[in-house]
Structure 1
Amino acid sequence: MRRPGSPTLATRHSVSASLADIRRQAVADLAAAGIPSAEVDAELLIGHVLGLSRGQVQAKVVMGVDIDEQNVAAITTTVSRRAAREPLQHITGRAPFRSLELAVGPGVFVPRPETELVVQYAIDALNASAVPSPVGVDLGSGSGAIALAMATEVPRARIFAAENSPEAFPWTRRNFDESGATNAVLEFVDLAHAFPDLDGTVDVVISNPPYIPAAAVPRDPEVRLFDPPHALYGGEDGLDAVHAVSKTGLRLLHAGGVLVIEHGEEQAAAIGGLLRADGWSAISTHPDLLGRDRATTALR
């Protein structure tokens, strides 16, 4: 914790200053606020203000570049917002996801790095399909990260995405439009009623549904205070939306089609039992890079 009266970026620099000093103080302010990735976040915030990549920021620090008072003030503001635990992606307005850069902000769930691994199971299944234009469906698309990753990385596929949040949908629509993916279709529809015209024809159904139990409170302030509740909480046991995904997947997929569900690390057994009771086969749980159960796949 910062000692009372210790200087911050806001109090220390009111005129032009060296970028090295600005970076050093930004890192200190973010670390004092409990940000575990203080150096990375500081450089990304500085780069956001200056229109530079993180590597360019690092290069200019080494070169001893100075920045003017206006940019000092702008960096001070962004660092203060991040120190208050506002998500980095809300401040920059962008979130990287695999090869994509997505628009995000209040009302939409910020895509996480672990989901980049989960979507690979769907991409692999689409690539393995023998049909000329395999079909993938993303249930509860949020920012559109999963659907657009499938659409852009498997261009021969046809991808359909369902999102029903009035707050999230404008972000989904924007990202679909910005992606230029002509093989991706977005609809404003509840996942339980999505795409009846596709019943029995889909190769892959994937979802990162809300799965946090209603009584559980996320530890991270960025999640607890800024992620939309509709994208987090899945009823008393966290599995309300998972039940709906299972039912919809059974309706949409053809025989042998693949279901992919992202979930919390302690939910694998419950989700496996749920899917088994619904009639799915070849149910498998997959860990993330930290060895935590992160996804479950099954066959129709």
Structure 2
Amino acid sequence: MASPDYDAAELLAHVTGSSRLQLGLVEPTAEQEAQYAVLVGRRAQREPLQHLTGTAAFRYRELAVGPGVFVPRPETEVLVGWILDRLVGVEAPLVVDLCSGSGAIAGAVATERPDSTVHAVELSPEACVWARRNLAGTGATLHEGDIDGCLPELNGKVDAVISNPPYIPLTAWESVTAEVRDHDPALALWSGDDGLDEIKVVAATAGRLLKPGGWFGCEHADVQGESAPAVFTSTGLFTEVRDQLDLAGRHRFTTGRRV
């Protein structure tokens, strides 16, 4: 387990209804101590911390998460920031979030750019339950269905397409942590032998939706720093295709513009 002390403090703050900074001032009740012991036991069995607390922080929002939806990761916040930087100066941008999952990306864009029109597309009915909850009041519109062929009425009109699709190669099964492998939904994780199956669909869909000069950003695995950009380049639909690093210096997302 990567951060046992942090996780333990987060669980104690959760059961006592306090913050981590206030824990030294809190005296848990007997009932809270019992609840805490149960949660610590579940975490020791590698159940995700976010499933135990029911929340996940993402940029400036707190999201509801649990079984059936992918838990958003800090790395994806960098991708959102990159897209938002590209949209500075674009009036009332039209943005599409493909493979939306919990709605983390769509909700962040909609709240940080309240003048934007944001559409989120997600295939999983279970994930859509969480996305509807997280997108309520943001102004973003959720569409339940496959990204392939989605939103034809927006063809050639979109300012930015952003996606955190499934990208883990099936061959990487053994290397994936138990928290991810056993608790995140398979639909949000695996994408063919090389992990590129859904990225190819994202590339085709972004090419169809984006207006000339529109931006895309697509997350990928750190081992796909060459193969993911090659997917977008091979379509002939994009220029300025680059691979970008996350805060840990790992290859994490591909960006570019519609020709």
User: How far did residue 193 of structure 1 move?
Assistant: 1.8
SS of 2:2 mapped into structure 1: coil
Equivalent positions of 1:1-300 (< 5 A) are 35-57=1-23, 59-60=24-25, 66-129=27-90, 132-177=91-136, 180-182=137-139, 184-217=140-173, 218-279=175-236, 280-300=238-258
Count of matched residue pairs:
256
Per-residue Cα deviation, 1:28-54 (whole angstroms, up to 9, x for no partner): xxxxxxx22111111110011010011
Assess if the C-alpha contact under 8 Å between 2:99 and 2:164 holds in 1.
Answer: yes
Q: CA deviation at 1:69?
A: 1.6
Structure 1 pair 277–79 and aligned structure 2 pair: CA distance change class (3 A): same
Partner-residue secondary structure (3-state), 1:260: strand
Q: Secondary structure of the equivalent of 2:47? A: coil
The offset of 1:211, in angstroms, is 0.4
RCO (CA 8 Å, sep 6+): is it higher in 1 or 2?
Answer: 2
Q: What is the SS of the residue equivalent to 1:296?
A: strand
Identity of matched residues, %: 48
CA distance in 1, matches of 2:107, 2:230: 30
- Give the residue type in structure 2 aligned to 1:212: I
Q: Offset at 1:216? A: 1.3
Deviations 1:163-193 (A, max 9, x none): 010221101111112xx112x1111121112
Q: Contact 2:16–2:28 (CA<8 Å) still a contact in 1?
A: no
Give CA-to-partner distance per residue, 1:141-168, whole Å, 9 cap, x none: 0000011111000111111100010221
Q: Which residue of 2 aligns with 1:11?
A: none
Normalised by the size of structure 2, how large is the TM-score?
0.96
> AA paired with 1:152?
T
In the TM superposition, residue 67 of structure 1 has moved relative to its aligned partner by 2.7
State the Cα distance separating 1:206 from its structure 2 match.
0.6
Tell me the distance in 1 between the aligned counterparts of 2:192 and 2:177.
20
SS in 1 for 2:88: helix
Q: For residues 135 and 242 of structure 2, what CA distance do their matches in structure 1 show? A: 31
Contact 1:126 1:135 in 2 (8 A): no
Runs of 5+ consecutive residues of structure 2 not aligned to the other structure:
none
Q: Is the CA contact (8 Å cut-off) linking 1:126 and 1:154 kept in structure 2?
A: no
Q: Where has structure 1 moved over 3 Å in runs of 4 or more?
A: none
TM-score by length of 1: 0.83
Deviations 1:72-106 (A, max 9, x none): 11110111111111000000000000101000001
**Which one has a bigger Cα radius of gyration?**
1
Partners of 2:127 and 2:160 lie apart in 1 by 23
What SS class does the counterpart of residue 128 from structure 1 fall into?
coil
State the alpha-carbon separation in 2 of the partners of residues 285 and 128 from structure 1.
23
Q: Distance in 2 between matches of 1:173 and 1:209?
A: 18
